[in-house]
């Protein structure tokens, strides 16, 4: 295949990156689900403490209200964190996943174009091989006709053997792939006949058919197949270059964006959220 040393490793790299992205997506969905459950639990707990603060005396009310406020602030912090995870992690991972799958589809399209080129090359080679066979058959037919008309061949048995050889040769070369009807040709009148006009008629029919097929095949090759093959080869070459450049560029961009997610995870999630949660619960009692 064309440039298989380039596109096969590239396809493996994309599949590996897609697999990592899918695993990250599963993890972040589970994390968001757990945080949403925690948020609901914190909201319910905060509501209970607010109810208790109304029922108790002033001194206990202040303590319960202060604790309830901390739970509410934690609840709000979790809600902000969930929104941040959705915007900065979950949605980008979804975009990366779709982008990577689009890259694989693009590589597959390039592969199909390459297979189309290989198939078309085989067709052209078969047509060219058929032309060579026709030319060889014409040359053989002309040589055989010269031998049949030589005056030194006066033996009926030898003429019969040459005629059978010529017929077998003609049938083998063109009958299976042509529309020539041998049943309509004039049959041999005698087993030992040396009818030159009959041999000439048969040879002329075979030659005319071969010449007609040769002209048709040559016209198809020069006017249709070879121009189409050249255009298809140019398309595959251009497509291969563009696909390689664009995918490499997009991969570098995706890897950079995944690196940004890691930075967000370290700074916004682990540091800022933990710091904010600690500041809420470490605040002095009122």
pLDDT in tens, 230-251: 999 999 889 888 988 999 889 8
Query: What tokens were used for 10?
Result: 């590239």
Instruction: List C-alpha distances in Å: 62 to 68, 72, 193, 267.
Output: 10, 15, 131, 35
SS3 45: helix
Average pLDDT, the chain: 75
| For residue 198, pLDDT beyond 70 | no
| For residue 184, pLDDT beyond 70 | no
- Percent of the chain, pLDDT > 70? 65
pTM above 0.75, yes or no: no
Look up residue 198 and give its DSSP letter: H
CB count in 10 Å sphere of residue 110: 21
Handedness of CA 112, 117, 123, 126 (dihedral sign): negative
The closest of 36, 45, 155 to 90, measured between CA atoms, is: 36
Alpha helices in the chain (DSSP H): 4-55, 58-85, 91-148, 156-174, 196-220, 226-264, 274-281
């Amino acid at each position: 295949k064309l440039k298989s040393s380039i596109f096969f490793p590239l396809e493996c790299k994309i599949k590996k990156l897609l697999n990592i992205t899918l695993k990250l997506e599963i993890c972040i969905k589970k994390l968001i689900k757990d945080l949403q459950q925690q948020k609901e639990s914190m909201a319910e707990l905060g509501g209970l403490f607010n109810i208790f603060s109304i029922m108790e005396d002033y001194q206990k009310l202040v303590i319960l209200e202060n604790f309830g406020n901390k739970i509410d602030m934690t609840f709000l912090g979790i809600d902000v964190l969930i929104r941040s995870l959705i915007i900065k992690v979950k949605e980008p991972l979804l975009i990366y996943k779709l982008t990577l799958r689009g890259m694989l589809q693009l590589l597959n399209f390039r592969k199909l174009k390459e297979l189309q080129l290989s198939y078309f090359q085989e067709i052209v080679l078969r047509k060219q091989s058929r032309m060579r066979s026709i030319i060889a058959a014409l040359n053989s037919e002309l040589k055989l006709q010269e031998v049949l008309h030589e005056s030194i061949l006066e033996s009926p048995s030898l003429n019969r053997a040459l005629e059978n050889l010529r017929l077998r040769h003609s049938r083998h070369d063109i009958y299976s792939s042509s529309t020539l009807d041998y049943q309509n040709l004039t049959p041999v009148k005698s087993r030992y006949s040396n009818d030159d006009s009959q041999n000439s008629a048969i040879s002329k029919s075979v030659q005319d058919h071969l010449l007609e097929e040769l002209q048709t095949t040559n016209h198809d090759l020069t006017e249709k197949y070879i121009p189409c093959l050249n255009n298809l080869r140019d398309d595959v070459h251009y497509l291969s270059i563009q696909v390689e450049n664009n995918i490499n560029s997009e991969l570098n961009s995706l890897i950079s964006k995944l690196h940004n997610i890691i930075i967000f995870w370290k700074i916004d999630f682990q540091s800022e959220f933990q710091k904010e949660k600690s500041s809420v619960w470490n605040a002095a009692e009122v």
